[in-house]
Amino acid sequence: MEAHYIYISLAAVFGLFMAWGIGANDVANAMAASVGSKALTIKQAIIIAAIFEFLGAVLAGGEVTSTIRKGIVDTDLMSGDPKLLIYGMLAALVAAGTWLLIASKNGWPVSTTHSIVGATVGFAAVGIGINAVQWSTVGEIVMSWVISPVTAGFIAYFLYQSVQWLILRHEDPVARARRYVPFYIFLAAFTITLVTILKGLKHVGIDLSMMDSYSLAFLLAIIIATIGAFFIQRIEPDKKAEKKAAFHTVERIFGVLMIVTACAMAFAHGSNDVANAIGPVSAVISVAQTGIVSAKSTVSIWILILGGVGIVIGLATYGRHVIATVGTKITQLTPSRGFAAEVAASTTIVIASGTGMPISTTHTLIGAVLGVGLARGIDAIDLRVVSRVLVSWIVTIPAGAVLAIFFFFLFRAVLP
């Protein structure tokens, strides 16, 4: 077999492995609020996530991919020996995938973005030289890891405050929920539909004007909100359950909304985090086919599909266990709290995906969950769990870097 076929085959296999790791670990964070609030069962969450993660990866995954692929390593320093980039990207995929396998097996919610960035920096700094790393770009990525949870937490805090102000603090919260929850459904549906139209349709050859895009998103959001309102009106108050839990019926109404936000969160996650798997794959294929280290390369649709399939397989095989633990430990979630967390997180993620800024879904969702917890007071948060999560985040970058250095030297020794 010719060398470039070997490189492309390995890139596809290792990219699938990395995407599996994203599905096994990170998708758990994307769906945790829905399961933790008992709005969805594990089985329902996996089905919803499988569909929308795949659609997000395939339709809207191209924008972020370019940043991960070409922004961290100075490709000019490898123009004399393009194989260095191939060895490095293969090493980064295996290293990050291996770390995600270890973390998922132990139930640690770690960042796939941390994993791949740490791995890329590790191989570049040792295999090529410190100057090969674009430290300013790495700095911007690190800044985004702080900005994204703070932004999501801020949005979640005020969203949940609005829920309390408009619904929960009134004498007849069920009537208020029937009135206002359709507006929340509209908000969630409009945001995610607009992103799908603006970013997703261009990958399938449909190009709408800005006015047409907003009009279509508005129309679809009204349809989704109307359907949601129909189901909400059919929910009858359960007097017996109300005595045990004051907001039982209100939370059932918010459960309808959680289905919409779960879809939005899964789509947003797929569009952003698929880059962690397919960015290095795209780089390897580009160099293998042309022999040139280029600053730009197009992402083929089959690479996006590969990433989407890998995420779904990881979710179906390992995601169940991580979903079950992540959704309940930071703070107690109900559908109304879970809604605020998921809409805040998905809004933050799709903004980042649209601007090409790689962020950590783990950071974003946990930031949003913390925002909801803070809206109820600091006592509502289990700070021990938060501290353990923070430690796992810190360990992830050096772990990815060390593994990538090992695999880089291994591939350089054994591959043609």
> Residues in the chain, how many?
416
The token pair that represents 183 in the structure block: 């507006």
Instruction: Bin 2: left if φ > 0, else alpha if -120 < ψ < 50, else beta.
Output: beta
Query: Which is more confidently placed, 307 or 354?
Result: 307
Tell me the sheet residues that pair with 381: 331
- Main-chain dihedrals φ then ψ at residue 111, nearest 5 degrees: -95, 125
Range among 197-206, 253-262, 404-413 rated most confident: 404-413
Residues in contact with 282: Cβ distance below 8 Å, sequence separation at least 6, in sequence order: 65, 69, 297, 299, 300, 303
Tell me, what's the pLDDT at 403?
95
Q: Residue 47, Cβ neighbours under 10 Å: how many?
A: 14
Query: Which is more confidently placed, 139 or 7?
Result: 7
Per the prediction, the chain carries an average pLDDT of 82
pLDDT at 243 over 70: no
In tens, the pLDDT along 94-138 reads 999 999 998 888 777 888 888 888 898 998 888 888 888 888 878
Check: CB of residue 404 under 8 Å from CB of residue 119: yes
pLDDT at 394 over 50: yes
Tell me, what's the pLDDT at 66?
58
Cα(110)–Cα(388) distance, rounded to whole angstroms? 11
Cα(65)–Cα(304) distance, rounded to whole angstroms? 10
pLDDT at 158 over 70: yes
Looking up tokens 């591939």 gives 411
Q: What is the mean pLDDT of residues 299-317?
A: 86
- Radius of gyration over every alpha carbon of the chain, rounded to an integer in angstroms: 22
Tell me, what's the pLDDT at 67?
47
In tens, the pLDDT along 46-88 reads 888 889 888 888 877 766 555 455 567 777 777 777 888 889 8
CA distances from 234 to 67, 178, 243 (A): 47, 10, 21
Check: CB of residue 228 under 8 Å from CB of residue 256: yes
Residues in contact with 403: Cβ distance below 8 Å, sequence separation at least 6, in sequence order: 94, 95, 96, 98, 99, 119, 122
Tell me, what's the pLDDT at 408?
93
Cα(129)–Cα(133) distance, rounded to whole angstroms? 8
Tell me, what's the pLDDT at 401?
92
The token pair that represents 383 in the structure block: 């700070």
The model's pTM is 0.82
Give residue 412's identity as a one-letter amino acid code. R
Give residue 309's identity as a one-letter amino acid code. V
Tell me, what's the pLDDT at 202?
58
Cα(166)–Cα(161) distance, rounded to whole angstroms? 9
The token pair that represents 371 in the structure block: 């925002």
Burial, 406: exposed, middle or buried (Cβ in 10 Å; 0-12, 13-18, 19+)? middle
Q: What is the mean pLDDT of residues 137-153?
A: 82
